[in-house]
Structure 1
Amino acid sequence: MPNYHQKKIAMINDLSGYGRCSLTVALPILSAMGIQCCPVPTSILSNHTGFPVYYFDDYTDHMEPYIEKWKELGLTFDGIATGFLGSERQIEIVKDMIAAFRTPGTKVLVDPIMGDHGIAYATYTPSMCSRMRELAAMADILTPNLTEACILADVPYESGEMSYEALAGLVRRLQKLGPSAVVITGIRKGSDLVNAMAEGEGEVSFLSREAAGEERPGTGDVFSSIIAGGCIRGWSLKRSVNLAADFVRDCIVRSGELQIPVKNGVCFELLLGSLCQMTDK
């Protein structure tokens, strides 16, 4: 019998027990895509921070010994993906992990969760932003939203709609940081959501979908997990982004139909069968 190599990805993110985001999204999404998801928790929360109360346990002190055991076991990964990182120390730990585990065949995806709607999160001091640029430079694929793209590129965030020409320039500016592929996600253009993307020296292209329903937590995690899975499976960036955009939209529509509370994220579990089918096409 041939030795079957199942693709594996190390997923670095927080674990929120309730609310459908971060690792509780990545694990089932990547599993549905046929990829083994190996989590590296950065913190443990009872539920995401959009709820009025939550329990929080910082896992920073445990990350290095956790990763060290993987080194001792000689584990290898086809991909490494990063989500929310809450401190400069966590960023440095992740940079060291990428350097230690990266091989010529390892793909690295960085989702630089730094802010939204033109405002950086409180933890993102100028020094933290500088460290995140260093991590972004190690990425093969970078998936910021528009706020994060502007922070990383050190350009002002425009409250109005950016022109397609300006967005293309922003994509190219981010590529100069180091990543070969860039996707700026969820850009509002009238009633549409647009993703601006480029892979290598290929042209900057724009994928548009009509916005559906209310903005919900965790949809970015669904999106970036599918991008990571597609990358590990060897897909083109355009194919991955198309699948991610379609699946997220379907999840939002279905969640609205079922009147799922917005804070509870999207009921992607009911659509995992369709994700399996779309992955196998």
Structure 2
Amino acid sequence: MQTVFPAAQAAPTGRAAIPRVLAIAGSDPSGGAGIQADLKSIAAMGGYGMAAITALTAQNTRGVRSVHVPPAAFLTEQLDAIAEDITIDAVKIGMLGDAGVIDAVRAWLERTRPAVVVLDPVMVATSGDRLLQESAVAALHTLLPLADLVTPNLAELALLLDEPVAAGWAEALEQGKRLSALAGTTVLVKGGHLEEDADGGCPDALVNSSGLLGSETVVVPGERVDTRNSHGTGCSLSSALATAYAAGGDWEAALRRVKPWLLGALREAGRLDVGTGNGPVHHFHHLAQPAEPAPAAGTGQFTDHLKEPGDFATGLEPLAAEGLTEIYALDFIRGLADGTLPEHEFAYYLGQDALYLNGYSRVLSRAAALAPTEAEQLFWSRSAAQCLEVESELHRSWLAGRAGTPRRQGPVTKSYVDHLHAASLAGSYGVLVAAALPCFWLYAEVGAALHAQFLAAGADEAHPYAAWLRTYADEAFAESTRQAIRYTDAAARRGSAAERGAMTEAFVHSVRFEVDFFDAPRLHA
């Protein structure tokens, strides 16, 4: 179970439905990095982008030819003009160029105190070109404490610490902790530039080392994409995180939302066919694409593909089966089946489930809003209502009068709800229903199995958890589960390969949370 990562500062109150995000960065005439990448990323995350230009570059996909830095006073005029007229929900800072520009940005931040600041300390381009004068590195350090999140690549992380570049993931994490302690802020350590990784993945980590919170690290795994088209990846990641955080108020949830999107942007980058060097990522890969041919008869569905490993990378059935195997092995499930589960553990479980269902109902309502057909809209709306009416009523009646019932979300519950909330903000119906599906699928499977054991044992009415077992073995719930699977299949067929990959990742995270949710009473009750 991943650590629950606290926001670096409280989420801004009165957030707009569409986050208004200001990017302060240099311009890339080839369109792949800098302000151009920022504005595309902000839009892709559902935000409204604004831009203040710090530098003009002459560059293309093969490298940077020259940099022109306009007077810092003019940058201040740009920033003041925006702040005096428009509410800014988040600020992303990228290329700054020289010490004068850095001083101007620092003075403006100290005057305006934006709610959220993400600093991407652009010092070295992907091509290896130096984008910040060496004399300005000391000035850049003065900006670090004003940022809520700092997102250096490995070379920049080393430069900020005046250390050699990390050779491995463990060393990179340690450098991130040192920078976090030095700056008093949260640092995103990125694994994209690591030459070697034991599992071939591409992890990122949120690191916060503060006297108040102690040392906390949240690692979010990811897949490495073999592509030369990574121009502007750092710019895109940081501006997307600023937008996602402004919308949701949680750094871990923001990262879990942004990583699948960026993965798809890298996977689909080649489709753009831009330039002959290090091409840009495809920021809008997740939007509607030309329809793909329907699968041939007999090729199966998204959730029912061949079970042999490697036959179909996005098949969900084996992933659900793996989660079920882990769930059935838990002491909680065994005790629930035979009635020996301690009452305080079941009370904790039901109390957390009631809190979870409240958030889950909102996620299903969001699915209804995004659904492409009236039938799907009705299904998800009714399911959202069912969460609050039937299941929640069972929770209230069983928990009524029992002491020690949790009133606040536990760490697993919070992480699970944050994950679903991030999926609901991604703007993809397919990703959202894939994230929501395990709560149907695994509960239906577990409920049916436990109910069968209950009946085989004689359906003893003295069994302390009989009401719960009957509820989740109900045929109406089983049919709702089958319908949810069918709608997820349909969404996958409509989506691109990248969309199906993002759906699988969302599903996998939810399966993991389902397992942890059943095990949480043992750890926290």
TM-score (norm. length: structure 2) = 0.46
Match of 1:67 in 2: 79
2-structure distance, mates of 1:257, 1:116: 23
Q: Which has the larger radius of gyration?
A: 2
Counterpart-to-counterpart distance in 1, 2:92 and 2:122: 12
- Aligned to 1:177, what secondary structure does the other structure show? helix
Note the alpha carbon deviations across 1:33-68, whole angstroms, 9 max, x for none: 2322221111234x6354468685533342122233
SS in 1 for 2:284: helix
3-state SS of 1:109 partner: strand
Q: 2:242 aligns with which of 228, 234, 237?
A: 228
Task: Report matched runs for 1:33-44 at 5 Å.
Answer: 33-44=45-56
Query: By percentage of residues, which structure has more helix?
Result: 2
Structure 2: how far apart are the matches of 1:56 and 1:157?
25
SS of the equivalent of 1:48 reads strand
Identity %: 19
Contact 2:117 / 2:146 at 8 angstroms: preserved in 1?
A: yes
User: Which segment drifts farther, 216-225 or 5-14?
Assistant: 5-14
Residue number in structure 2 paired with 1:207: 220
User: Residue 231 of structure 1: CA displacement?
Assistant: 1.6
Q: 1:21 aligned to 2:33?
A: yes
Q: CA separation of 1:28/1:257 partners in 2, compared to 1, >3 Å: closer, same or farther? A: closer
1:173-217 C-alpha deviation (Å, 9 max, x unpaired): 111233432101224243332212224636213223232122421
2:201 paired with 1:192: yes
**CA distance in structure 1 between the partners assigned to 2:130 and 2:62 by the alignment:** 16
Shift of 1:123: 3.8
Tell me: CA distance 1:210–1:135, structure 2 relative to 1, closer, same or farther (3 Å): same
**Closer, same or farther in 2 for the Cα pair 1:195/1:53, shift >3 Å?**
closer
Offset of 1:97 from its aligned partner? 1.4
Aligned residues of 1:193 and 1:211 also touching (Cα < 8 A)? yes
- Quote the residue 1:9 is aligned against: 21
Separation in 2 of the partners of 1:81 and 1:163? 26
Distance 2:93 2:105 in 1: 8
- The change in CA–CA distance for 1:184 and 1:199 in structure 2 (over 3 A counts) is same
Task: Indicate yes or no: 2:173 matched with 1:168.
Answer: yes
Pick closer, same or farther for the CA change 1:121–1:260 going to 2, 3 Å: closer
Quote the offset at 1:90 in angstroms. 0.8
Query: Contact 2:26/2:34 (CA < 8 Å) preserved in 1?
Result: yes
1:277 partnered with 2:428: yes
Residue 309 (structure 2) pairs with residue 267 (structure 1) = no
Q: CA deviation at 1:135?
A: 1.0
Q: Who is 2:187 aligned against?
A: 182
* Residue 120 (structure 2) aligns with: 111
Work out the CA distance in 2 between the residues paired with 1:132 and 1:7.
27
C-alpha separation between the residues in 1 aligned to 2:51 and 2:272?
Answer: 30
Please give the root-mean-square deviation of Cα atoms over the aligned residues, in Å.
Answer: 3.1
Corresponding residue for 1:244? 258
Q: Which deviations, in whole Å up to 9, do the C-alpha atoms of 1:74-105 show, x marking residues without a partner?
A: 543221110011111111111111112115xx
Unaligned stretches of 5+ residues in structure 1: none
Distance in 2 of aligned mates of 1:107 and 1:34? 17
Q: Residue 129 of structure 1 corresponds to which residue in structure 2?
A: 137
Match of 1:78 among 69, 89, 95: 89
Shift of 1:269: 2.7
- Distance verdict in 2 for CA 1:109–1:214, change over 3 Å: same
Change (3 A) 1:101 1:280: farther
From the superposition, tell whether residues 38 and 163 of structure 1 become closer, same or farther in structure 2 (CA, over 3 Å): closer
Aligned counterparts, 1:137-148, within 5 A: 137-148=145-156
User: For 1:96 and 1:263, how far apart are their aligned partners in 2?
Assistant: 35
Q: Which moved more, 1:166-175 or 1:225-234?
A: 166-175
Residues 144-170 of structure 1 show CA distances to partners (whole Å, capped at 9, x for unaligned) of 111111121232224xx3252x33322
Q: Distance in 1 between matches of 2:188 and 2:154?
A: 10
Using the alignment, how far apart are the partners of 2:137 and 2:55 within structure 1?
Answer: 20
Distance, in Å, in 1 between the alignment partners of 2:53 and 2:189 is: 25
Which stretch of structure 1 is more off in the superposition, 224-233 or 203-212?
203-212
In structure 2, stretches of 5+ residues that fail to align are 1-13, 290-425, 433-525
Q: Which has the higher strand share?
A: 1
TM-score (norm 1): 0.82
